[in-house]
Every structure is written in structure tokens, then in C-alpha cells.
Amino acid sequence: MARPILIAPSILSADLTHLADEVRAIDAAGGDFIHVDVMDGHFVPNISFGPIIVESIRPLTRKVIDVHLMIAPADPYIEAFARAGSDIITVHAEAGPHLDRSLQMVRSFGKRAGVSLNPSTPESMLDYLLDQIDLVLVMSVNPGFGGQAFIPAMTGKITRVRQMIGDRKIHLEVDGGISPLTAGEVAARGADVLVAGSAIFKGGAGSYAANIEALRRAAIAGAARP
């Protein structure tokens, strides 16, 4: 049976001068997860949001708040993001030496745990973690900015991660350069959560529903390929 395709708008590309309206708009437009990119200017060459942003948007939506931690170390901040109202907390495999401990910490706060892999990081990093995680995030760009081009070599990694997951209840999320042009291929290879920033927020709030629908349609068509 085909996995439902979930769309996760990344608020990094939202009009941040009207964040509350933007969150309500993407919720109403059909976004399934609200993707929050947390950057520390150290793990990645950019600085974005802290726990206070999660706390601020939590009352605005019942949708899943999907927090992508591009910070190193991650452990000192996991509790704050959990208490702020995150539903999924994803740490990068490259953020520190004790990934297993970080995942246990996320789950100890009753949250779903994710692992993100930079483009150069092999999927073998997941070998001993599959029973500790609820989501694998395959980065299809080098993290730090929206609006970058999709790295084609990541399609092979998506296929292999899907094989590793097997029939476990683990989401396979892809992030970076996702548009109607790339959504079909990543879904065909097994991605079920598609993060998108520029492809959704372009054109203003009046276009969000059509942009989300275009992504979902392309992904469903891709997933249906024989």
C-alpha cells in the first residue's frame, strides 16, 4: 500500500515579519508538518531560530512541529526545544560523538526522534540506530540556506535508506531543493515527507495551497511509478 505523502513547509522561507500569519496560512493551505530550521552559525554558516520561535508558533497550529537542529552540540538544547512544544526533534549525525545518547534524550522528553545526514555522510551511520528513531532526514543540499539546488547523487542514498528502514514505522524525510521537478524522483525512491521552503513560499500566501498541491501531486505520481 502506498505511503501517504506529507508536505513540510520550511518557515525559513516565510515572511518573518508576519510569522504568525504565515504559520496560519501554511496550516490552512494543507501543510502537514511545520519545518523549523535551527541554525547556530557554527555547525552551519548561518544563524536562524531558537526555542522561543517554537514556543511562539505552538499555540497557532495543531500540525506537527518538525524541528531540524543544525547545531553542534545539540544535547544542551534538546530539553528547551522539547519544552517549547516540538513534536519531532531531529539531530544531525555529525553534530557530536554520542548520537545514541542524543536520541535517547529526545525520546526521554516524549518527543519523536530524528537523525539527519549531510550529503557527504553515509547511511551506514544509521546501522545501530534504527530502533531508536522515528525519522531519517536525508539532506539533499549542504545545510545552511534555502533556495539551493538539489544534489542528484542523494537519490541513491534515499533508495538505500528506504531499504534499511524496511517495514519499520520510520518517516523518510528529504530536505533541500525540493520542487515539483524533484518531488517525483525522491518519492519514487521512498521519501514520504518532503520539506520545501522556496517552492512553497514563492508567490505569497495566495499561492501556498497551489504550491503545496503541486508538490504533493508530483510526489504521488512519482511514488506510483512501477
List, by residue number, the catalytic residues.
37, 175
Question: CA-to-CA distance for 180 and 170, rounded, in angstroms?
Answer: 24
- Shortest distance (Å) from residue 144 CB to ligand DX5: 5
Provide, rounded to whole angstroms, the least separation between the CB of residue 219 and Zn ion.
17
| Shortest distance, position 28 Cβ to ligand DX5, whole Å | 20
Give the residue with the Cβ less far from ligand DX5, 7 or 12. Answer: 12
User: Cβ-closest residue to ligand DX5?
Assistant: 197
Least spacing, CB of residue 176 vs ligand DX5, in Å = 5
Nearest approach, Cβ of residue 30 and Zn ion (Å): 19
Q: 65-95: buried (b, 16+ CB within 10 Å) or exposed (e) per residue?
A: bbbbbbbebbbebbeebbebbbbbbbbbbbb
Residue 176 interacts, among ligand DX5, Zn ion, none and using kind-specific CB cut-offs from 5 to 8 Å, with ligand DX5
Helix (H, G, I), strand (E, B) or coil at 118: coil
Cell numbers linked to 9: 513547509
Q: Which is nearer to Zn ion, 128 or 157 (CB)?
A: 157
Q: Where on the chain is the footprint of ligand DX5 (CB under 6 A)?
A: 10, 12-13, 35, 37, 68, 141, 143-148, 175-178, 195-199
Nearest CB to Zn ion, comparing residues 174 and 223: 174
Torsion of CA 83, 125, 184, 68, to 10 degrees: 20
Instruction: Indicate which of ligand DX5, Zn ion, none lies near residue 13 (CB less than 5 to 8 Å, by partner kind).
Output: ligand DX5
Residue type, 180: P
Dihedral of CA atoms 219, 93, 154, 126 in degrees, nearest 10, equals -80
* Interface ranges with Zn ion (CB under 5 A): 37, 68, 175
Is 114 or 176 the residue whose CB approaches ligand DX5 more closely?
176
CA atoms within 13 A on the CB side of 114: 24
From ligand DX5, Zn ion, none, interface partner of 177 (C-beta below 5 to 8 A by class): ligand DX5
Nearer to ligand DX5, 176 or 190 (CB): 176
Contacts of 76 (CB under 8 A, 6+ apart): none
* Distance of alpha carbon 73 from alpha carbon 97, whole angstroms: 9
Helix axes 19-28 and 208-223, enclosed angle (nearest 10): 50
Contact partner, 11, from Zn ion, ligand DX5, none, Cβ < 5-8 Å per class: none
